[in-house]
C-alpha cells in the first residue's frame, strides 16, 4: 500500500524533482517508509511515490520502478494478491525477466512487458491504482482496480496534467488552480459523498473503478481527448451470474462460498509485516476472522473499539467471538472526547467533503490496529453482495403497498402534502403533539410529510429507492447555482438487468454507495494511519460467485446474508451471532445537540452562509432548528453541509 502522484508539463523550469517531491510529501502518510521521484526530462513526465513496505521490504521494492526491458516505468499503489501465480504463468510462457526481488510491482511490470496493458489488468486479482509510463510509445496509462478500492485523481490544469492518489498531491503542484464545483456539492447533499468521476473541484476527475485511460503525451491535443476504457464491468459480472445461477443445494452453495472466500483470504494474508483483522462482532468481520484463523498456525490479531453507550457498542460481542476462535484480541473503549477530537482532522483526512459519520469510528479502529500491525483485513462488502442492509427487505415491501395505489391518486396525495410548506404543517400538528406519546409526536412533522410526498410521487420502484436513499431530495434548492449531475441511480440505460428489485438495489448499491462511500471511507481512514486495509469479499472471483447465488440464498426467513451466515455457523455458534444489526455508528444526533452544538452553529451561521455564497441559508437553518428542538433527527442531512463547511474553512 502506497501513494502515487506525478505530472506532465514542459514548464517545470528545472524544478521537476522538487515539485514531484512536494507532491509525494503531501501524501507521505500513505507511505512513510520510502520515497522516490523519477523524470523523463525529454517527455516532460515526472512520477513520484511514497512507499508503505508490505511485500519485499528490501530496496528491490523501491518505486518508481523500471521494467527489466527498460520500456516501462511504474508508480503503483496497492497489492496484487495473485502475483506469484502471474510469475509462474510468465515462467511457463518463457517471458519472465531475471527477477530482482519478490515485489508484486516487479511482477506487474513484467506482465505489462509480456502481455500489454489490458490483458495484464484482466489477469490481476488485487486492489490498485497505477501510473504506467511507456517510454517507447510516449503514453501514460492510469488504471484502477475493478471495484475501486484504491483512489486515483487526474486533471488538466492549464498545460499541466496532474494525477495522484489524493487531491492534496495535485494541490501541491503550482499549476493547480481549480474552482469548487457547485454541482458536486449537490451530489454531496443528495448522497453524503461525491461519486466518481466527479470531485469537489471543477474538471478534476476520479478515474472510474475497473477502468484505465491511455494518455498520449507526444501531443497535447491527443492527450486531452483521451477517454477511459473499462477492462472489467460490474454489470457484466451481474449478467453472467444471473444467466448461470448456482444449481447445487444450499449446503453445496455454502461449500462453494467458503472455498472461494477462503482462497481470497489466504491470498490476502500474504505479507512481510505484521497482519491482523478488524472484528466488530457482526457477520461479515466474524466470517473473515473465522476463515483467517482456520488458515493461520498462530492466533490472528483482531481489533475492535467499544463505546460506553450500549446503543452503539458491540465490543462485548466481538470479544465473545474472539474468545471462541482463539484470536489475540485487542479492544479499546473510546470516550466521546476521543471521537470528537477526530472531527477537526476530517477535512485533511478525506481531502474533499465526505459525510458518512461512521468515518469517525473507522478512523479510530484503524488508529488502534496500526499500533500493532501494518496490514488489517476487513469484512466490508458483505451487505452489498449478500443482501445485508435492512433496506433490501423493507423497501420492496413498502413499494408493494404504495405501488398498489393508482398513480393519479398517489400524485394527487403527494401534491396535497407538498403543497403546504413544512412549517405550516408543523403549525397544524403543534396542538396535536401535546396529546400524543413522544415517539409519535416526533414523527408528526412537516419534513417527514414532505419526504412521504416524494415517495408517493415516485413513478417507479427505482425512483422510489432513489428518494428513499437521498439525504436532501432537492439539493438544487439548497446549493446556490448548482445543477445536480446524473448518477447511476437516475441513469436507467446504465442499470444492469436483474431478476428482482432486491438484486437491482444490491447491484446499484455496489457501484455507487460501496464504491464512492464505503471504500473511500476505509481507504482514507486507514492511510491517514499508514495502515493497509484489505477486503477479501471484493476479490472479483468472490463477487462473481456471489452474483451466481439465487436471491433465496441471500434473503431468507426475514434475514439478509443467509448464505454468509451459514458459512459462519460452521465456525462460530449461532447464538454468538444472532442479534439485531447495529452498524458502525456514533450518537451523532445527540452530539449535535450537545458537545458539537457550538461548532455546528458557527458553521451554519446565517451571516456566514450568505457571505460564502454556497448555500441558501433558509433550508439549512430550518433543519438545524428542527434538530435542536428535538422534533426530528436531522443529523444525517446536516452532516453533509457541515462537512462541506468544515472543509471550506480549511482551504487556502
Enzyme catalytic residues: 2
| Separation between Cα atoms, residue 572 and residue 331, nearest integer Å | 20
User: Which residues, in sequence order, are CB contacts of 597 under 8 Å at separation 6+?
Assistant: 628
| Separation between Cα atoms, residue 568 and residue 412, nearest integer Å | 49
Q: Count the residues in the chain.
A: 652
| Separation between Cα atoms, residue 63 and residue 138, nearest integer Å | 20
Q: Is 379 annotated as a binding residue?
A: yes
| Separation between Cα atoms, residue 99 and residue 580, nearest integer Å | 52
Q: Is 104 annotated as a binding residue?
A: yes
SS3 for 146-194, per residue? CCCCCCCEEEEECCEEEEECCHHHHHCCCCCCCCECHHHHHHHHHHCCC
DSSP state of 497: P
| Separation between Cα atoms, residue 163 and residue 44, nearest integer Å | 14
Q: Which three cell numbers stand for residue 377?
A: 483485513
User: Which residues, in sequence order, are CB contacts of 632 under 8 Å at separation 6+?
Assistant: 442, 445, 447, 448, 626
| Separation between Cα atoms, residue 226 and residue 215, nearest integer Å | 6
Q: Is 80 annotated as a binding residue?
A: no
Q: Is 305 annotated as a binding residue?
A: yes
SS3 for 378-428, per residue? CCCCHHHHHCCCCHHHHHHHHHHHHHHCCHHHHHHHHHHHHHCCHHHHHHH
| Separation between Cα atoms, residue 220 and residue 160, nearest integer Å | 10
H or E stretch covering 301: strand 301-307
Binding residues for ATP are 305, 378-379
Amino acid at each position: 500500500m502506497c501513494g502515487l502522484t506525478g505530472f506532465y508539463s514542459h514548464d517545470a523550469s528545472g524544478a521537476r524533482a522538487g515539485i514531484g517531491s512536494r507532491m509525494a510529501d503531501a501524501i507521505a502518510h500513505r507511505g512513510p517508509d520510502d520515497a522516490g521521484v523519477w523524470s523523463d526530462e525529454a517527455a516532460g513526465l515526472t512520477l513520484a511515490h511514497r512507499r508503505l513496505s508490505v511485500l519485499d521490504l528490501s530496496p528491490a521494492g523501491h518505486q518508481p520502478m523500471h521494467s527489466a526491458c527498460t520500456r516501462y516505468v511504474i508508480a503503483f499503489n496497492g497489492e496484487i494478491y495473485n502475483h506469484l501465480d502471474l510469475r509462474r504463468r510468465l515462467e511457463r510462457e518463457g517471458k519472465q525477466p531475471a527477477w530482482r526481488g519478490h515485489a508484486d510491482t516487479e511482477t506487474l511490470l513484467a506482465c505489462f512487458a509480456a502481455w500489454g496493458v489490458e490483458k495484464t489488468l484482466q489477469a490481476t486479482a488485487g486492489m490498485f491504482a497505477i501510473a504506467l509510463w511507456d517510454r517507447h510509445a510516449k503514453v501514460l496509462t492510469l488504471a484502477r482496480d475493478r471495484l475501486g478500492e484504491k483512489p486515483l485523481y487526474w486533471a488538466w490544469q492549464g498545460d499541466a496534467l496532474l494525477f495522484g492518489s489524493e487531491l492534496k498531491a495535485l494541490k501541491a503542484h503550482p499549476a493547480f488552480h481549480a474552482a469548487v464545483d457547485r454541482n458536486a456539492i449537490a451530489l454531496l447533499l443528495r448522497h453524503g459523498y461525491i461519486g466518481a468521476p466527479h470531485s469537489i473541484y471543477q474538471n478534476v476527475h476520479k478515474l472510474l473503478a475497473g477502468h484505465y485511460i491511455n494518455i498520449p503525451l507526444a501531443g497535447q491535443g491527443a492527450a486531452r481527448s483521451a477517454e477511459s476504457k473499462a477492462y472489467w464491468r460490474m454489470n457484466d459480472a451481474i449478467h453472467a451470474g444471473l444467466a448461470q445461477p448456482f444449481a447445487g443445494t444450499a449446503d453445496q452453495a455454502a461449500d462453494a462460498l467458503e472455498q472461494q472466500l477462503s482462497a481470497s483470504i489466504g491470498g490476502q494474508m500474504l505479507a512481510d509485516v505484521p497482519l491482523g483483522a478488524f472484528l466488530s462482532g457482526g457477520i461479515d468481520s466474524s466470517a473473515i476472522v473465522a476463515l483467517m484463523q482456520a488458515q493461520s498456525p498462530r492466533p490472528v490479531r483482531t481489533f475492535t473499539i467499544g463505546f460506553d453507550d450500549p446503543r452503539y457498542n458491540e465490543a462485548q460481542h466481538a470479544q465473545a467471538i474472539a474468545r471462541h476462535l482463539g484470536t489475540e484480541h485487542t479492544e479499546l473503549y473510546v470516550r466521546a472526547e476521543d471521537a470528537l477530537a477526530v472531527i477537526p482532522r476530517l477535512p485533511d483526512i478525506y481531502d474533499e467533503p465526505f459525510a458518512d459519520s461512521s468515518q469517525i469510528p473507522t478512523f479510530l479502529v484503524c488508529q488502534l490496529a496500526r499500533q500493532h500491525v501494518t496490514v488489517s483485513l476487513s469484512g466490508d462488502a458483505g451487505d452489498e453482495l449478500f443482501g445485508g442492509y435492512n433496506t433490501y427487505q423493507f423497501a420492496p415491501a413498502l413499494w408493494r403497498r404504495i405501488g398498489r395505489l393508482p398513480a393519479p391518486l398517489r400524485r394527487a396525495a403527494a401534491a396535497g402534502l407538498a403543497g403546504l410548506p413544512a412549517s405550516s404543517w408543523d403549525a397544524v400538528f403543534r396542538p396535536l403533539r401535546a396529546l400524543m406519546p413522544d415517539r409519535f409526536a416526533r414523527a408528526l412533522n412537516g419534513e417527514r410529510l414532505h419526504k412521504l410526498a416524494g415517495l408517493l410521487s415516485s413513478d417507479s420502484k427505482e425512483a422510489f429507492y432513489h428518494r428513499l436513499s437521498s439525504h436532501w431530495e432537492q439539493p438544487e434548492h439548497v446549493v446556490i447555482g448548482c445543477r445536480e449531475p446524473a448518477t447511476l441511480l437516475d441513469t436507467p440505460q446504465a442499470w444492469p438487468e436483474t431478476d428482482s428489485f432486491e438484486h437491482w438495489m444490491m447491484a446499484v448499491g455496489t457501484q455507487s454507495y460501496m464504491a464512492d462511500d464505503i471504500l473511500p471511507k476505509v481507504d482514507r481512514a486507514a492511510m491517514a494511519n499508514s495502515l493497509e486495509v484489505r477486503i477479501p469479499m471484493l476479490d472479483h472471483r468472490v463477487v462473481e460467485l456471489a452474483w451466481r447465488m439465487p436471491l433465496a440464498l441471500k434473503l431468507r426467513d426475514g434475514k439478509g446474508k443467509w448464505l454468509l451466515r451459514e458459512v459462519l455457523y460452521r465456525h462460530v455458534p449461532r447464538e454468538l451471532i444472532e442479534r439485531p444489526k447495529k452498524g458502525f455508528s456514533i450518537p451523532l444526533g445527540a452530539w449535535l445537540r450537545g458537545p458539537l452544538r457550538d461548532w455546528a452553529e458557527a458553521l451554519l451561521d446565517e451571516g456566514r452562509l450568505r457571505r460564502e455564497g454556497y448555500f441558501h441559508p433558509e433550508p439549512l437553518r430550518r433543519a438545524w432548528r428542527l434538530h435542536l428542538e428535538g422534533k426530528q433527527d436531522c443529523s444525517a442531512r446536516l452532516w453533509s453541509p457541515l462537512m462541506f463547511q468544515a472543509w471550506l474553512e480549511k482551504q487556502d
